[in-house]
Amino acid sequence: MAKRKVMKDPSEPDGMNMTPMIDVTFQLIIFFILVTDFSQAQIEKLTLPQAKNVIKTNFADATLMVVNILKDGTMKINGKMIYDARNMRSPEQERMAFTKLEEMFNTRRMNPKYIEPGPGQFAKYFMYVRADRSTDFEHVQRLLMMATRYGGVTKVMFGAMEEKGG
C-alpha cells in the first residue's frame, strides 16, 4: 500500500513548541503559591474524631500550642517531634522522651507572655490537642497531666471534625 507523504510546512520551526507547556507550568506555580497556607504547617494529617457542636479553630493565634498525637502515640508540637512511639522500648525511655515536653512547658511558664499574673502561674494560652480518633487515650491523659502540672494549662481545645449529616 502506498504511503501518503506529508509535506512539512517550511515556516514551522524544528522541535516541539514549548510555549503551552511553559504556560501551564506558570499557571500551576501561581496556583500553588496562592493556595499554600504556611500558617497550617503545624497541622499533621490525622483522622480526628467526629463531633456535632464544634467551634471553628483559629490557627492565627500565635500563642496557641498545637499538639498532634498520631495513631501510634507519636507526639508533635508545633511541627517539632517530641515523642517518637516507634523507637520506645521501656517506660524509662518514654520518661526520658517526655522531659523534652516538660522543658517546653517550663520555658513557656518562664515567659510572662504566656502566663497570667498571680501566684498560680496559670497559662494564658490555649493548648490545642489534635489526636487521632484511634489513639490510645493514655497518650492524651499523659499530656493533660503534664500540662496541668508543669505548664499550669487550664484551657484545652480538642480538635474534632464536624459530624456529617444529622
Partner 1 sequence: MAKKRRPKGVEETTVESLKMTIFIDVIFQLLIFFLLSLKFKQKEGYLLSMLPKDKGLFATPVQTPELNEVRIYICADMNRRMDQHIGYKEKHQDFIKDQKKAGQPVGDLCYTQIELNFNAQDQLFRTEKHPGKWGHNKAIYERYSDQVKVMLDSVRSKKDPNKAAPTILDIDGMAPFEHAIGFLNSLQKRKIADIEWAGNPRFDRYYGPAGN
**Which positions from 57 to 96 touch partner 1 by CB under 8 A, shown as an x/- string?**
x-----------x-------------------------x-
29 CA to centre of own chain: 23
For residues 66 and 43, give the distance between their C-alpha atoms in angstroms, rounded to a whole number. Answer: 8
What lies within 8 Å, CB to CB, of 63 at 6+ separation is 113, 114, 124, 125, 126
Shortest Å distance, C-beta 158 to partner 1? 5
Backbone angles phi and psi of 137, in degrees to 5: -60, -25
Q: Which one-letter amino acid corresponds to residue 45? A: K
Site for partner 1 (CB under 8 A): which residue of 45, 86, 89, 164? 164
Q: Which one-letter amino acid corresponds to residue 46? A: L
Could you say whether residue 55 binds partner 1 (CB under 8 A)? yes
Residue reference for cell 464536624? 162
Minimum CB distance to partner 1 smaller for 40 or for 80: 40
Minimum CB distance to partner 1 smaller for 28 or for 81: 28
> Cell numbers of 158, please?
480538642
Minimum CB distance to partner 1 smaller for 11 or for 62: 11
Could you say whether residue 160 binds partner 1 (CB under 8 A)? yes
Give me the residues that bind partner 1 (CB under 8 A), please: 5-9, 19-20, 23-24, 27-28, 31, 47-57, 69, 95, 98, 119-122, 128, 131-142, 144-162, 164
